[in-house]
Amino acid sequence: MRIGLLGYGVVGAGVDHLAQRLEGVSVEKVLCLNVGDVPGGRGVADISAIIDDPEIDTVVEAMGGLHPAWEFASGALKAGKHYITANKALVSAFLPELVELAKENGVALRCTAAVGGGIPWLVNIERCRRVDSIRRIHGIFNGTTNFILDAMHRDGAEFERVLAQAQKLGYAEADPSADIDGDDVRRKLVISTAAAFGKLIRESDVPMFGIRTVTAQDVLNFKALGKVCKLIARAESGEKIKASVEPVLIPAGAPESAVPENFNLVTYESENAGVQSFFGQGAGRYPTAYNVVQDCLDVCGGKNDFYTKQYVAAEVDNRDVLRCYYVRTSASDAWLQSVAATQGDGYIVTRAVSQADFHAHVRELQSRDHRLFFAAVE
């Protein structure tokens, strides 16, 4: 396999380093802004140097973002080159188009590192679906938010202080919005739903709420309720998909409650195998690069399907999902009071309500209280 590598940052350099150890796999050219950073004179400044090179059979992308990643991906696939990426934003936004281009040109499309970093989540879904039917997926899909929530529960610190610590350690970006607001998790859930159920859902249809507004006082309230807060992604199969990304208050003895630092724990439930969970780091140079290189080896071995052979478009419908919610808000709201089951100091816990109705109402309520926080209660 002769690789054209796009990007030479943390993950790209890790891919290059791991590939050097493998027989029959070589990184021939590297597209990056500073071509002098690439050892061996392999740096190039123009994507055409990779796409138009007939000797390069595989393009590996480690850049991120939607553009020019989409233009590079579509160009590489049209040129008959396998495409391997760690870019969850690209795959989530353009999954139908990417799958179709790969099929039309008889090449592989793989993105194992885009969901879970170092956890081989997608390939285990793929393996399960060969003989089984997956009914639901759920878990902790983001190491940054888990690090923040874990530290707040352990140390009683405020969100802003722990976020700054996560940024100092390299767990959070300078702009952490994609992590703390839930976009990163939602993208991973969209990709996982396609692999697990063969259903293509739109990002914008999945209700999402992050952890940006959680406070140390909220954490004290959670502890008083015997709960631990985690940002959880969930999807359930059916004619219409039930899917969401939101903070969840989990009983202190549940497996997810004990997940420490920047680790992930993701689970699928299938008809025959039952519950299977996967634990590991969700980010970092070598955990992510490891799965990129594993994808390269899978393609070398002839694996060309995108984790499952068939996909159909599907809607998200959470109207029948009933959940209780912890809500802390300074705004007066008659609807919340009408569904309150218990009331604490500055917060309420609702009775079971439709998840779709609750998210719709909270979106309106946020315009009156931008510091509002809520979490589903299990």
Q: Residue 354: CB partners within 8 Å, gap ≥ 6?
A: 318, 319, 320, 321, 322
What are the backbone dihedrals phi and psi of residue 137, each rounded to the nearest 5 degrees, phi first? -135, 145
Integer Cα distance of 300 and 25 in angstroms: 9
Q: Residue 301: CB partners within 8 Å, gap ≥ 6?
A: none
- Count the neighbouring beta carbons within 10 Å of the beta carbon of residue 201: 22
DSSP-assigned beta bridge partners for residue 354: 322
Integer Cα distance of 26 and 216 in angstroms: 49
Integer Cα distance of 121 and 291 in angstroms: 10
Integer Cα distance of 99 and 285 in angstroms: 27
Q: Which DSSP state fits 268?
A: E
Asked if 38 and 11 touch (Cβ cutoff 8 Å), the reply is: no
Instruction: Please give the radius of gyration of the chain, using alpha carbons only, rounded to the nearest integer.
Output: 22
Integer Cα distance of 251 and 192 in angstroms: 25
Q: Which tokens hold the place of 46?
A: 């123009």
Task: List own/partner pairs for 34-38 with CB under 8 A and 24 or more apart.
Answer: 37/8, 38/8
Q: Residue 105: CB partners within 8 Å, gap ≥ 6?
A: 77, 78, 79, 80
Whose tokens are 């912890």? That residue is 326
Q: Residue 162: CB partners within 8 Å, gap ≥ 6?
A: 147, 148, 151, 152, 155
Q: Spot the catalytic one: 29, 188, 230, 242.
A: 188
Asked if 4 and 28 touch (Cβ cutoff 8 Å), the reply is: yes
Integer Cα distance of 337 and 212 in angstroms: 24
**Would you call 242 a catalytic residue per the annotation?**
no
Active site residues: 188
